[in-house]
Structure 1
């Protein structure tokens, strides 16, 4: 019995060390990627409000991840692949100045998306992270409309930026991001569904991403 208890304690200690290591790796990777992204975008920020808006968006994301609290995460290759693809792929976009709509219209679309994403992040406070995790259930603010308002904000902001920076590369980047968002939602809800509280929330807010659609 004593041997089994010791083995269990050692196993739990290893899991905690791994969780701490992954948590540090996530924060360090986010910090490094955000710095690189801003270095690329900074020379262009005065050319269009869109560049300033996207720098603000990604900066808030970095800040929320750096200060967020740990939680029970989906520590699998699949979970981390989705997190990395969904979070860092948007940082691969490149300014093109090829516009489908005037810059002011694109900026307005981005502003709506960023307001949605940032307000949802502020409601989450220290529960925000990029790897699927259960850090508590949020029901207030934009979470009364859809269960994943941050992702809804991302999609809207992506559409705004793409409409002012059209290219096959940027379109490919964002389509990959949107596919990752759908998979991330499913992965996150797999983790959250272990809580009976989340089942109640799902019944109250039936739409995951787009109101009245999905």
Structure 2
């Protein structure tokens, strides 16, 4: 396996994987704190579901193991930050009357999505991260179904949440977030694909996110 993308000597003294790890953790804590404040101000009881989902991100990011095999590309970090920050910027709003008939569907999607994303994180344990990195290859459990089960769980949660809080702002937030999420997923696979174990995993688990589609 080759190492992470080389960086210019002028930047090598301060731009290190460990410092990038810490920067990523500080960013997540700040965004999560702001989300907590906005959720506590919301009259929508389902807004706390968004807080639950993002709290799991916070916990696993803080507990993860450090790695030297992390992408140092600015573009990869921009995608990771956008995909992670967008859901934390969602605007909690009351459920409109037009969406009340779909409330049970939305709640079910969010519940199933959270089970999937939490289970995926438990399989990853301290290998979970935000920016593309190799903290160990996982191939068991949900990873036998799709290569990115955590993202699959997020997708269900976010679709359910946007049904509960269907504003133009939230559509834009999740739309931008998921454009970045797909590109981030592909960036992760470029880095992980340098590992022979991951390349073998790709031949066994065909689908990245949604079986039969992508």
Same fold (TM over 0.5): yes
Task: After TM superposition, list the pairs within 5 Å mapping 1:26-45 onto structure 2.
Answer: 26-44=24-42
173-182 or 126-135: bigger deviation: 173-182
Q: Equivalent residue for 1:67? A: 63
Q: Distance in 1 between matches of 2:21 and 2:14?
A: 10
Gaps of 5+ in 1: 1-10
8 Å contact kept, 2:38–2:92: no
Q: Shift of the alpha carbon at 1:47?
A: 3.8
Separation in structure 2 between the aligned mates of residue 211 and residue 54 of structure 1, nearest angstrom:
25
1:133 aligns to what SS in structure 2?
coil
How far residue 52 of structure 1 moved from its aligned partner, in angstroms, is: 2.4
Unaligned runs of 5+ in 2: 1-8
Distance 2:184 2:141 in 1: 21
Aligned to 1:86: 83
The aligned runs of 1:94-109 (5 Å cut-off) are 94-96=91-93, 97-98=95-96, 100=99, 101-109=101-109
Q: Distance in 1 between the 2:44 and 2:183 partners?
A: 35
Give secondary structure in 2 for the equivalent of 1:73: coil
Matched with 1:136 is 136
Aligned positions of 1:43-54 closer than 5 A: 43-44=41-42, 47-48=44-45, 50-54=46-50
- 2:213 is matched with which residue? 213
Answer with 1 or 2: which has the greater Rg: 1
The answer to whether the aligner puts 1:77 opposite 2:46 as a matched pair is: no
Tell me the residue number matched to 2:3. none
Shift in Å, 1:213: 1.0
Partner SS state of residue 189, structure 1: helix
CA change 1:77–1:206 in 2 (3 A) is: same
Q: What is the aligned length? A: 201
Alpha-carbon distance, 1:102 to partner? 3.6
* Post-superposition CA distance 1:123-153 (Å, at most 9, x none): 1000000000011111111111100011111
Aligned to 1:194: 194
Offset of 1:15 from its aligned partner?
6.4
